[in-house]
């Protein structure tokens, strides 16, 4: 049986972090929090039975598009077990303990890895596991990791590897060990721990914000799909619609829901070519920060950032994550929805 490549593992992890609504749910490897899954995961583990956590699961239940549950090691297992974001399937398209990947915990998984080390962080290759007691993540290159944690954003999130250094706009975690997963093919995997890292995880767009979750767009197609990788679609009418989810590497990467009075009947996943976006933010754009905006990871911004006289230049765009600054100096990374384009 062929192993998943390190690049595919990283691309899938980044895709989940950026383009899906997720929640930290202990023992959950990608199940949509809909129907019977809600009660299942409110009761499957003592951690989830805690009143506060149960309330979080119930608050995330039965949304459209759905919220998917993961924990740290179950994120890795879910991807390796075939998770593809199919909300119509009990576990989001994942099987159980398949593809030669056993159902093990984070502390056992690191013992199965090869080349385990507490040093050499700058020399890691993409797709390596990064570990600390009771917790595990995936190194994605450029000094960043994908992890699912109740800390910070309480979901699948991208964080800076503190052993390499902090990065503007990202929360930082220091890990204890790293190593290569035995279930992954690292042939040709790129290296680079710091700012000179050579890995380039898949991004929704290069240098531009196309359609982001929450945007109203013009849908020009005539077919929508029940999942982002479905083979067959059904007919619908074009018109105005809202982007409600994204799956960056999928066949049909945008989930749209019709806007009342917009003429469209779309309600499902559609092709990128069937979306038109006006006034997108690109590198070099001049923007202002909307009052009350937070950093991309939910942190606070200084009050002067919101003043009407402060205009910022877009330095970097990665999906809905936009780095802004003045005179080449980074101010913050924010969500594109919290910016107003002024030039």
What DSSP line would sit under 136-155, residue for residue?
Answer: EEEEEETTEEEEEESSTTSE
Q: Say which DSSP state 6 is in.
A: H
**pLDDT band at residue 226 using 50, 70 and 90 as cut-offs:** confident
The residue written with tokens 């029940």 in the block is 226
| Three-state secondary structure call for residue 317 | strand
pLDDT at 256: 87
Which residues lie across from 320 on neighbouring strands?
A: none
145 closest CA partner among 298, 21, 14, 4: 14
pLDDT at 31: 97
DSSP per residue, 253-281: -EEEEEPTTSS---EEEE-GGGEE-SS--
Supply the pTM of this predicted model. 0.63
Give the N- to C-terminal CA distance of the chain in Å, as an integer: 53
Q: Say which DSSP state 89 is in.
A: S
**pLDDT band at residue 112 using 50, 70 and 90 as cut-offs:** very high
113 closest CA partner among 165, 159, 71, 175: 175
- Say if residues 65 and 227 touch (Cβ distance below 8 Å): no
Measure CA 131 to chain center.
19
Mean pLDDT to the nearest integer, 136-165? 95
pLDDT at 196 over 80: no
Q: What is the pLDDT of residues 290-323, one digit of tens each?
A: 888 888 878 888 888 888 778 999 888 766 778 8
H/E segment holding residue 79: helix 72-80
Burial of 60 (0-12, 13-18, 19+ CB in 10 A): buried
Nearest-angstrom CA–CA distance, 224 and 181 = 37
pLDDT at 134: 96
pLDDT at 45 over 80: yes
- Percent residues over pLDDT 90 in the chain: 53
pLDDT at 23: 97
- Say if residues 238 and 219 touch (Cβ distance below 8 Å): yes
Structure tokens that stand for 80 in this block: 């390796």
Structure tokens that stand for 261 in this block: 């009075």
Structure tokens that stand for 218 in this block: 């013009």
């Amino acid at each position: 049986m062929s192993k998943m490549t390190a690049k595919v593992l990283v691309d899938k992890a980044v895709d989940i972090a950026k383009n899906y609504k997720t929640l930290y749910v202990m023992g959950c490897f990608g199940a949509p929090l809909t129907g019977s899954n809600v009660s299942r995961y409110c009761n499957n583990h003592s951690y989830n039975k805690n009143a506060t956590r149960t309330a979080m699961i119930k608050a995330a239940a039965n949304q459209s598009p759905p919220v998917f549950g993961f924990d740290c090691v179950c994120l890795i297992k879910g991807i390796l077990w075939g998770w593809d974001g199919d909300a119509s399937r009990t576990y989001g398209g994942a099987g159980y303990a398949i593809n030669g990947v056993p159902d093990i915990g984070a502390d056992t998984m690191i013992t199965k890895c090869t080349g385990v080390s507490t040093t050499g962080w700058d020399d890691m290759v993409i797709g390596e596991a990064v570990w600390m007691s009771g917790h595990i993540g995936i190194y994605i290159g450029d000094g960043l990791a994908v992890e699912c944690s109740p800390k910070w954003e309480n979901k699948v999130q991208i964080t800076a590897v503190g052993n390499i250094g902090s990065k503007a706009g990202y929360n930082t975690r220091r890990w204890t060990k790293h190593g290569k997963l035995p279930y992954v093919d690292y042939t040709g995997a790129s290296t680079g721990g710091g700012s000179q890292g050579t890995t380039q995880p898949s991004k929704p767009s290069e240098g531009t914000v196309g359609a982001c979750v929450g945007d109203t767009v013009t849908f020009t197609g005539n077919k929508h799909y029940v999942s982002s990788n479905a083979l067959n679609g059904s007919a619908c009418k074009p018109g105005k619609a809202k982007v409600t989810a994204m799956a960056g590497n999928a066949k049909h990467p945008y989930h749209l829901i019709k806007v009342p009075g917009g003429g469209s009947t779309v309600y499902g996943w559609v092709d990128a070519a069937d979306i038109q976006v006006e006034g997108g933010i690109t590198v070099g754009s001049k923007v202002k920060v909307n009052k009350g905006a937070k950093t991309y990871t939910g942190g606070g911004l200084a009050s002067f950032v919101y003043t009407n006289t402060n205009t910022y230049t877009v330095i970097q765009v990665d999906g809905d994550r936009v780095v802004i600054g003045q005179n080449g100096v980074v101010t913050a990374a924010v969500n594109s929805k919290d910016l107003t384009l002024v030039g």
